[in-house]
Amino acid sequence: MSSHRHAIASDLRNQITTGRIKAGERLPSETRLATHYTVSTATLRSALAVLQSEGLVEKIHGKGNFVRHPLRRITYVGGACDTAAMPSFSRISIRTTHVQAHGQLIGLLRVPANSQLTEYFCLGHEEKSPHSFARIYVPPDLSPAEVPDEAPCFKTIQARLEKLRPPLAEIQEQVTARHPTPEEAAILRISSTLAVLAITRVTTDRTGRVVEATLSVLPGDRAHACFTTHHTTEEKAKEHDDPQ
Amino acid sequence: MSSHRHAIASDLRNQITTGRIKAGERLPSETRLATHYTVSTATLRSALAVLQSEGLVEKIHGKGNFVRHPLRRITYVGGACDTAAMPSFSRISIRTTHVQAHGQLIGLLRVPANSQLTEYFCLGHEEKSPHSFARIYVPPDLSPAEVPDEAPCFKTIQARLEKLRPPLAEIQEQVTARHPTPEEAAILRISSTLAVLAITRVTTDRTGRVVEATLSVLPGDRAHACFTTHHTTEEKAKEHDDPQ
DNA sequence: GAGTGGTCTAGACCACGAG
DNA sequence: TCGTGGTCTAGACCACTCA
């Protein structure tokens, strides 16, 4: 008595997980599948959207629906000490610009509105297709002045940022699940129906000053974020003193 | 030049954020809005889905679309020492059952297939409507035997679990964004097009044994997860020895 | 140009909520 | 019972990919 959409999704899911349709293979076209299941194209597309959000199927406009190779998962590592907790990128391209603090950036970095900020736009690639991106915002006095507009090397920028920076005290990450904006969908080349993992990361130094804010967006069909908390005896004691 | 969907969503978003439509108010019916924007109902519904995933609008079947009251956000606190890092629930109901290890549980808890497990199904409520849930799985020797099938008090069970448990060493949480299964959508009473935050939490004791695995699902339109990492000098040194 | 997915239409019928 | 949203149909037209 379930919906058509999920019945079709289950059938295709079985065919994929049992190997009747192999990884990398193309599914029949949407019109063909629609006539096969005797449903409309709209219904069939919503069934494919289910599999897509599970990471089993990847749609490519003008080419077709493909069974995804498994274990090509992007991992965002939480609490990482590095400048950007960017996922294990095979390749990262960066664009550096100067912007004025606006919107939520004012609150995140605790700076006045319209004050100067350096933005590092990081785009992660995997085999020439983008798979995630992040915008890193840094106050001007903590960002190296002589960075070219197009920087080839991520590590270089990271090393320069580290040098200017006082010792870190705390990293706070807030994770939400939502749909991508049209701009984000275009950058990542994903459907706007796919869920994305949005991570807001704020890094604070020992004086309590916010030295960096990073907004990351990762496609939900191939990304996950990992957070590890170690509980030593000292920490446990501390938590009892200062719960939460 | 943008899609119809996003144009309509932007217009409604403006009306909401500028206060022309107030919090708690009901929007005109979908057919009414569709004729107003001269689009089909399907297109208008997809526009509402955008606002829904932003947490601005809440649909209630048979009643209408309502502008959500802001700051009614659920927060999942990562790395919490408590048995379940359940969000700040106003009320939690629990059902205890015994299940056999299956699927991903085998790998998470590192137990043989079909071995006995205790499942605690926790449902979080807010004003009589469910807003999140979690399934906690515990090996039988670490779960109190005399728990009734329906337990009224979450704290009681939690306290009993703590007693049986050796000191904890590590909590690992994996976060993904996806669409809900039909079952999850029914439990949370959300649309299946809404994104959810799915969190898999594994707790390990000092001997390396997995003492608990928790699968949480939170609606993307009103929930976020927070993770805080403190960087002391000792920890920094440790990370240099053992990167990642 | 042929074939694919992306968006959209103008309805139909069903399920839920409130009176 | 009536009005609401939920699902679905059978198309149409556009954008993209590849030969």
Q: Yes or no: say if B113 and B102 are a contact pair by the CB < 8 Å rule.
A: yes
State which H helix or E strand residue B233 sits in: helix B233-241
**Phi-psi sector, A128: left (phi>0), alpha (psi -120 to 50), beta:** left
Residues B103 and B202 in one domain: yes
Task: Please list, in sequence order, all residues whose beta carbon lies within 8 angstroms of the beta carbon of residue B232, skipping any fewer than 6 positions away.
Answer: none
Residues A100 and A217 in one domain: yes
Substitution target in B179, B192, B226, B235 with the highest count of A β-carbons within 10 Å is: B179
What local confidence, expressed as pLDDT, does residue B155 receive?
Answer: 62
The share of chain B scoring above pLDDT 70, in percent, equals: 78
What local confidence, expressed as pLDDT, does residue A153 receive?
Answer: 59
For B206-216, what is the mean pLDDT? 90
Residues A97 and A170 in one domain: yes
User: Can you read off the two tokens belonging to residue B97?
Assistant: 């059952």
**DSSP states of B78-116 as a string?**
TT-SSS------SEEEEEEEEEE--THHHHHHT--TT-E
Q: Is residue B241 part of a domain?
A: no
Question: Which of A49, A67, A85 corresponds to the end of one domain?
Answer: A67
Protein residue closest via CA to C1' of C17: B62
Give the domain CATH number at B56.
1.10.10.10
State whether the Cα torsion B152-B154-B157-B163 is positive or negative. negative
| Domain total of chain A | 2
State whether the Cα torsion A41-A44-A46-A52 is positive or negative. negative
Angle between helices A41-53 and A4-17 (to 10 degrees): 50
This prediction's pTM: 0.87
**Would the Cβ of B3 be found within 7 angstroms of any atom in strand C?**
yes
What local confidence, expressed as pLDDT, does residue A140 receive?
Answer: 82
CA angle A39, A42, A48 (to 5 degrees): 90
Closest CA to B89 of B148, B54, B36, B131: B131
Please write the tens of the pLDDT for every residue from B85-126: 555 555 677 788 888 988 899 999 999 989 999 998 888 877
The share of chain B scoring above pLDDT 90, in percent, equals: 43
Residues A100 and A207 in one domain: yes
**Would the Cβ of B8 be found within 7 angstroms of any atom in strand C?**
no
- Chain A residues with CB under 8 Å of B227 CB are 78-79, 172-175, 227
- CB–CB of B229 and A79 under 8 A? yes
Q: Parallel, antiparallel, or unpaired: how do β-strands B210-219 and A116-126 relate?
A: unpaired
Bridge partner residues of A198 (DSSP) = A176, A217
Residues B62 and B84 in one domain: no
Task: Please list, in sequence order, all residues whose beta carbon lies within 8 angstroms of the beta carbon of residue B145, skipping any fewer than 6 positions away.
Answer: none
Per-residue pLDDT of chain A (244 residues; tens, 9 = 90+): 568 999 999 999 999 999 899 899 999 999 999 999 999 999 999 999 999 988 899 999 999 999 998 766 788 988 776 544 555 555 677 788 889 988 899 999 999 988 999 998 888 877 667 888 899 998 888 776 665 555 555 666 666 666 666 677 789 999 999 999 888 998 888 888 899 999 999 999 888 889 899 999 999 988 999 999 887 654 444 444 444 3
Q: Yes or no: say if A222 and A73 are a contact pair by the CB < 8 Å rule.
A: yes
CA of A60 and C1' of C4: distance in angstroms?
Answer: 9
* Range of the structural domain that residue A28 is part of: 2-67
Poorest-pLDDT segment among A75-89, A124-138, B176-190, B219-233: A75-89
Residues A149 and A177 in one domain: yes
Chain A residues 149-168 with Cβ under 7 Å of strand C are none
A178 at the B interface (CB within 8 A)?
A: yes
Q: Is residue A238 part of a domain?
A: no
CB atoms within 10 A of CB B38: 9
- CB–CB of B229 and A196 under 8 A? no
Using CA coordinates, name the residue in chain A closest to B175. Answer: A225
**Phi-psi sector, B231: left (phi>0), alpha (psi -120 to 50), beta:** beta
Protein residue closest via CA to C1' of C7: B3
CA angle A34, A40, A45 (to 5 degrees): 70
B18 at the A interface (CB within 8 A)?
A: no
State whether the Cα torsion B3-B4-B5-B8 is positive or negative. positive
Residue B226 C-alpha, separation from nearest chain A C-alpha, in angstroms: 5
Q: What is the distance between the alpha carbons of residues A53 and B181, in angstroms, rounded to a whole number?
A: 11
- Chain A residues with CB under 8 Å of B2 CB are 182
CA of B164 and C1' of D14: distance in angstroms?
Answer: 64
Q: Is residue B8 part of a domain?
A: yes
What local confidence, expressed as pLDDT, does residue A225 receive?
Answer: 94
Residues A206 and A101 in one domain: yes
For tokens 């959810």, the residue is B196
Residues B54 and B140 in one domain: no
Give the domain CATH number at B108.
3.40.1410.10
Residues B62 and B123 in one domain: no
Q: Is residue A240 part of a domain?
A: no
Using CA coordinates, name the residue in chain A closest to B192. Answer: A50
Q: Yes or no: say if B52 and B194 are a contact pair by the CB < 8 Å rule.
A: yes
Q: Which residue has the higher pLDDT, B135 or A160?
A: B135
For B127-137, what is the mean pLDDT? 83
Residues B51 and B144 in one domain: no
Question: Which of B37, B67, B97 corresponds to the end of one domain?
Answer: B67
- CB–CB of B175 and A196 under 8 A? no
Residues B17 and B138 in one domain: no
Please write the tens of the pLDDT for every residue from B52-97: 988 899 999 999 999 998 766 788 988 776 544 555 555 677 788 8
A163 at the B interface (CB within 8 A)?
A: no
Q: Is residue B238 part of a domain?
A: no
Q: What is the distance between the alpha carbons of residues B127 and B93, in angstroms, rounded to a whole number?
A: 13
What local confidence, expressed as pLDDT, does residue B44 receive?
Answer: 96
Residues B108 and B208 in one domain: yes
Question: Which of A20, A43, A67 corresponds to the end of one domain?
Answer: A67
Q: Is residue A12 part of a domain?
A: yes
Q: Is residue A242 part of a domain?
A: no
Q: Is residue A232 part of a domain?
A: no
Residue A80 C-alpha, separation from nearest chain B C-alpha, in angstroms: 8
B223 at the A interface (CB within 8 A)?
A: yes
Residue B235, pLDDT above cutoff 70:
no
Which pLDDT band, with edges at 50, 70 and 90, does B244 fall under?
very low
Protein residue closest via CA to C1' of C4: A62
Q: Parallel, antiparallel, or unpaired: how do β-strands B223-230 and B74-77 relate?
A: parallel
